[in-house]
Amino acid sequence: MGKDITLTASDGFELHGYRADPEGTPKGGIVVIMEIFGVNEHIRDLCDRFAEVGYLAVAPALYDRFEKGFEVGYTPDDIAKGRVMKDKGNENFDNVILDVEAARKVAAEAGKVGITGFCWGGVVTWASVCRLDFQAAACYYGGGILPYVNEQPNGPTILHFGEHDAGIPLSDVDQIAKAHPECPVYIYDADHGFHCDMRGSFKAHAAQVASIRTFRLFDEHVAG
């Protein structure tokens, strides 16, 4: 269902990506933003899941400007490597947004486009829906949203957080909710990474409920 592709940003930079096409005519496009671990098996699987329900899904490899093909799993060593790459992404955040836009343009072949992202990708998703032409967004446990909290989403946006996420204080979540009462904020009895079935923190019920809410959002605002 899915395949590796090359994306071209507006500054000419070429990066890798993963694209999953549905059977038949797509009902819209979804850009899937990776965790700190690169476009790994989990992110490819999420793209495939969106394709299974009718969306064209595209995941850009947002670390390619720093290291081509970076992809790791979820061991402590992998987490340490991912954090180093995340820091590089944050230092070059404008270029990250350029690369998201490259993915959005491909996804727009299907019509309207939504965006979703996880961990660091939740932060990138928030900034992207505020700065680019996305029709809806679903942010999962984005721990660095506060520096961008004064930006305004261009489309309906929901946010998912885990109550027991040691890296994202509930006080931060509360600040986001107060700054954006128009954006539903959902808090689950779960830890960071609860949506990833390849991590020890996976929480099946929370992931299922969050997925239902995310699919409902996209079906309402992206599917056409």
- pLDDT-derived band at 64, boundaries 50, 70, 90: very high
Query: Does the structure show a pLDDT above 80 at 1?
Result: no
Q: What is the mean pLDDT of the chain?
A: 97
- pLDDT-derived band at 126, boundaries 50, 70, 90: very high
Say how many domains are in the chain.
1
Q: What SS3 string covers 191-209?
A: CCCCCCCCCCCCCHHHHHH
Residue 118's domain comprises: 2-221
- Whether 119 sits among the annotated catalytic residues: the reply is yes
Bridge-partner residues for 157, per DSSP? 137
Catalytic residue among 16, 42, 180, 192: 192
- Whether 183 sits among the annotated catalytic residues: the reply is no
Contact 107, 57 (CB under 8 A): yes
Catalytic residue among 47, 99, 119, 196: 119
- Whether 164 sits among the annotated catalytic residues: the reply is no
- pLDDT-derived band at 201, boundaries 50, 70, 90: confident
User: Rounded to an integer, what distance in angstroms lies between the CA atom of residue 222 and that of residue 86?
Assistant: 29
Catalytic residue among 21, 64, 165, 172: 165
Beta-carbon contacts of residue 155 (< 8 Å; ≥ 6 apart): 114, 129, 134, 135, 136, 137, 221
CA 52 to chain centre: 18
Question: Per residue in 137-150, pLDDT tens?
Answer: 999 999 899 999 99
- pLDDT-derived band at 200, boundaries 50, 70, 90: confident
Q: Which CATH number characterizes residue 45's domain?
A: 3.40.50.1820
